[in-house]
């Protein structure tokens, strides 16, 4: 197995392993160690069936809970992230986010397997919350260490949100619900339960406020943090190829799907790995 890290050790390619086959304990441990260290890892040239994808996901951890999106028939944990060539609605996942951060126990990991990749565009950008936190002013770090953010799925998945996002014109089936109006408090600075690292953990899609602050102050602080996290030195820009599989750590990484492929189809299969309550 060959592991090739990217700049700042954020992101790494892993080659020389067949994820469609049963992995040894040593292979699984090495993959997991690479994932924890580099936060985003990808495996080129992995042809996998639904069943093989599910089996590999289970080596990372138990299946997560994926609301608001319809799964593939017969595979309740696989969501097909699809955009047809003629779709004219906002990109699914195009706003920076950490998957399902509005849940009480958001997923530890997301696994994405590329099926149909357009010849141009269609990449995914990843932001490193660990280095983003490390590069904040120490006074601001101390202030943020004691604040809680308010997360909610209302923007994309409430009935009004799905309608505003052109949900009835999507090739993917979204499942709006009044549950999306609920809120969940999480720390702005999240401590990784396995590495002990602190990460800046807010996102513009699901983070709607800061507990205890007036709206204007909260909005100003969040806007400042969002811009800080998106600085180029914290971002890895990933380019997909067919049959590539990717895993990232939602406990310290935010991501954003990119466009630029109008007139072309893009299809990937997605699973999440169950997580724990942030602290």
d(C-alpha 191, C-alpha 279), whole Å: 6
Nearest alpha carbon to residue 278 among 200, 204, 179: 200
Cβ–Cβ under 8 Å, residues 262 and 48: no
In the chain, % of residues over pLDDT 70:
100
Residue 186 — very low, low, confident or very high, per pLDDT cuts 50/70/90? very high
Q: What is the mean pLDDT of the chain?
A: 97
pLDDT of residue 168: 85
Residue 39 — very low, low, confident or very high, per pLDDT cuts 50/70/90? very high
- Angstrom distances, CA of residue 35 to CA of 90, 106, 144, 193: 30, 17, 26, 14
Q: Is the dihedral of CA 231, 99, 63, 118 positive or negative?
A: negative
Domain regions of the chain by residue span:
2-273
pLDDT (tens digit per residue) in 202-238: 999 999 999 999 999 999 999 999 999 999 999 999 9
Fold (topology level) of 2-273 = Double-stranded beta-helix (3.60.130)
- Angstrom distances, CA of residue 243 to CA of 3, 143, 267: 18, 44, 11
Residue 21 — very low, low, confident or very high, per pLDDT cuts 50/70/90? very high
**3-state DSSP percent of the chain in helix, strand and coil, to 5:** 25, 30, 45
Cβ–Cβ under 8 Å, residues 86 and 238: no
Q: Is the pLDDT of residue 175 over 90?
A: yes
pLDDT (tens digit per residue) in 101-142: 999 999 999 999 999 999 999 999 999 999 999 999 999 999
Residue 75 — very low, low, confident or very high, per pLDDT cuts 50/70/90? very high
Residues labelled as active-site residues: 97, 99, 255, 270
pLDDT (tens digit per residue) in 143-159: 999 999 999 999 999 99
236-274 burial, b at 16+ Cβ within 10 Å, e below that, comes to bebebeeebbbbbbbbbbbbbbbeebeebbbbbbbbbbb
In the chain, % of residues over pLDDT 90:
99
pLDDT of residue 167: 87
């Amino acid at each position: 197995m060959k592991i090739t890290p990217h700049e700042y050790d954020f992101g790494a390619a892993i080659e020389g392993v067949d994820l469609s086959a049963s992995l040894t304990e040593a292979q699984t441990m090495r993959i997991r160690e690479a994932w924890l260290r580099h936060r985003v890892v990808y495996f080129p040239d992995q042809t996998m069936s639904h069943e093989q994808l599910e089996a590999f996901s289970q080596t990372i951890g138990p299946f997560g809970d994926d609301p608001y999106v319809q799964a593939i028939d017969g595979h309740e944990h696989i969501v097909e992230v699809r955009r047809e060539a003629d779709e004219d609605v906002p990109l699914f996942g195009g706003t920076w986010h950490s998957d399902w951060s509005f849940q009480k126990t958001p997923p530890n990991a997301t696994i994405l397997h590329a099926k149909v990749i357009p010849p141009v565009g269609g990449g995914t950008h990843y932001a490193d919350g660990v280095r983003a936190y490390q590069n904040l002013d120490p006074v601001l770090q101390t202030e943020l260490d004691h604040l809680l953010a308010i997360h909610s799925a209302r923007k994309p998945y409430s009935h009004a949100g799905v309608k505003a996002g052109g949900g009835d014109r999507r090739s993917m089936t979204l499942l709006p619900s009044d549950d999306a109006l609920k809120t969940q408090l999480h720390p702005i600075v999240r401590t990784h339960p396995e590495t002990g690292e602190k990460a800046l953990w807010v996102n513009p899609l699901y983070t709607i406020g800061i507990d205890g602050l007036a709206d204007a102050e909260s909005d100003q602080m969040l806007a400042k943090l969002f811009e800080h996290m998106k600085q180029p030195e914290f971002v890895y820009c990933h380019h997909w190829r067919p049959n590539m599989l990717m895993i990232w750590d939602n406990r310290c990484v935010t991501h954003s799907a990119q466009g630029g492929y109008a007139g072309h189809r893009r299809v990937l299969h997605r699973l999440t790995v169950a997580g724990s309550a942030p602290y």
